[in-house]
């Protein structure tokens, strides 16, 4: 069947829906696996007597490894192709997640984290390339939107599942069980993507189909890009704001345990509330900008006013330190991540507006790399602050101010955001 008739068309559509579903769950697993360690901190710290600085090293090593891996991920996916490249990445990160169960020292945990980070860095580039390769233009935006929401689902499921598994069966089984889910996914991926080149890539030429989406990697000089003011606007904003996301993702379970004396079985629920609100932020983040445009605002004013609204929402974040219970604190921190998602969406939108399409991928990759490195610094600083008795106060204050500073940076570097149409 060539997919041109009604039956073939319907089958091709269902195959593409299956592809989106598989990448959605793969992305959810990506965030589930990376959160297991932070959710098990009470158990692991009791067993291994880690300092907060040592625990921070697990987070920073992950961020640095992911940042370095981003330099070669695009080449890897272009060379190997989406189907085999993404499948291999999930297999490796699942094994790396399970390897945590065999670790007995800080060094062994760090090696497991580095392996996990390198493999997991493939997820987003592979997901976006799969959408571009196997989805028709009219389905692409919806597909990418669904895939992007999966990170929040993974961040919600992890705190609901991992503490329960750990309390019932031990922390080692929590790593093994979550890692094993990746191999269940691999079986579905293998059988669910066999016909993609026939039904899901009708717009590609025959040569591209034969290569499974693989092709020559067209490199753009990052040295030249970083000299441009518009690139600096994006990268600077990512440095300031991504650090907040990685801080909350890695340290929020410990914050709830430490601040409200919660046990291993209790930290998951307020953490889940935080990421439910983050998911809502991701779903609603695209509304303010077009609404302001419809009211006659210029693209520059609409984009910056949207960012300003979200920057104001995160200012109450330090009040979580004085919350009467974990639920009030979760709502305050969740409001902060709601704002983060809104601001982050506007950074991506701004990038698409002011950067030529041929360079958007490179600029986004530069921003992601910078954000991972600033996240590593934030995680290390948190461990130092906790070990020296400063507590969480410095990080909460820094996080609250980060978005106004990011907006100020954008405005300083790009006083007038100009829409570009050149390729």
pLDDT at 196: 65
The mean per-residue pLDDT over the stretch 153-168 comes to 92
Most confident of 148-157, 220-229, 389-398: 389-398
pLDDT at 372: 93
pLDDT at 138: 62
The mean per-residue pLDDT over the stretch 118-140 comes to 78
pLDDT at 304: 94
The mean-pLDDT minimum among 188-192, 287-291, 391-395 falls in 287-291
Structure confidence by residue, pLDDT tens digits, 164-208: 999 999 999 999 999 999 999 999 999 988 776 433 333 343 444
The mean per-residue pLDDT over the stretch 369-375 comes to 94
Question: Would you call 320 exposed, middle or buried from its count of C-beta atoms within 10 A (0-12, 13-18, 19+)?
Answer: buried
Each domain of the chain, given as residue ranges in start order, spans 1-219, 220-423
pLDDT at 318: 98
Q: Which CATH number fits domain 220-423: 1.20.1250.20, 1.20.810.10, 3.40.50.2300, 3.40.50.970?
A: 1.20.1250.20
Q: Are 232 and 226 in contact (CB under 8 A)?
A: yes
Task: Evaluate if residue 300 carries a pLDDT over 60.
Answer: yes
Same-fold call for 1-219 versus 220-423:
yes
The mean per-residue pLDDT over the stretch 238-255 comes to 96
Taking the CA atoms of the chain, what radius of gyration do you get in angstroms?
A: 21
Which pTM does this prediction carry?
0.84
Task: Evaluate if residue 389 carries a pLDDT over 50.
Answer: yes
User: What CATH number should be reported for the domain whose range is 1-219?
Assistant: 1.20.1250.20
Most confident of 127-141, 256-270, 391-405: 391-405
pLDDT at 160: 93
């Amino acid at each position: 069947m060539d997919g041109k008739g009604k039956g073939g068309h319907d089958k091709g559509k269902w195959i593409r829906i299956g592809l989106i579903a598989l990448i959605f769950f793969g992305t959810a697993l990506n965030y589930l696996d990376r959160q297991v360690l932070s959710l098990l901190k009470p158990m692991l710290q009791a067993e291994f007597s880690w300092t907060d600085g040592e625990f921070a090293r697990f987070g920073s090593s992950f961020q640095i490894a992911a940042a370095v891996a981003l330099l070669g991920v695009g080449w890897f996916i272009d060379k190997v192709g989406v189907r085999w490249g993404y499948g291999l990445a999930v297999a490796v990160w699942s094994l790396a997640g399970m390897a945590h169960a065999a670790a007995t020292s800080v060094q062994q945990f760090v090696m497991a984290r580095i392996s996990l980070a390198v493999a997991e860095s493939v997820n987003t580039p592979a997901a976006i390339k799969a959408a571009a390769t196997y989805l028709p233009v009219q389905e692409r935006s919806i597909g990418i939107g669904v895939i992007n929401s999966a990170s929040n689902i993974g961040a919600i499921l992890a705190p609901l599942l991992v503490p329960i598994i750990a309390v019932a069966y031990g922390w080692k089984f929590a790593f093994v069980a979550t890692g094993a889910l990746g191999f269940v996914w691999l079986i579905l991926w293998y059988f669910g993507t066999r016909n993609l080149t026939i039904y899901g890539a009708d717009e590609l030429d025959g040569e591209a189909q034969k290569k499974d989406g693989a092709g020559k990697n067209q490199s753009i000089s990052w040295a030249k890009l970083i000299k441009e003011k518009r690139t600096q606007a994006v990268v600077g904003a990512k440095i300031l704001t991504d650090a907040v996301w990685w801080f909350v993702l890695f340290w929020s379970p410990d914050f709830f345990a430490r601040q409200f004396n919660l046990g291993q079985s209790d930290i998951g629920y307020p953490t889940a509330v935080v990421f439910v609100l983050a998911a809502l932020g991701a779903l609603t983040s695209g509304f303010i900008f077009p609404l302001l445009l419809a009211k006659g605002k210029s693209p520059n004013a609409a984009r910056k006013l949207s960012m300003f609204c979200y920057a104001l929402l995160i200012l109450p974040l330090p009040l979580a330190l004085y919350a009467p219970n974990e639920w009030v604190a979760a709502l305050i921190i969740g409001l902060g991540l709601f704002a983060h998602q809104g601001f982050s969406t506007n950074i991506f939108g701004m990038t698409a507006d002011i950067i030529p399409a041929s360079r958007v991928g490179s600029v986004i990759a530069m921003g992601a790399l910078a954000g991972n490195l600033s996240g590593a610094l934030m995680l290390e600083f948190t461990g130092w602050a906790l070990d020296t008795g400063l507590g969480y106060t410095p990080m909460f204050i820094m996080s609250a101010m980060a978005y106004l500073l990011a907006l100020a940076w954008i405005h300083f570097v790009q006083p007038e955001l100009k829409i570009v149409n050149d390729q």
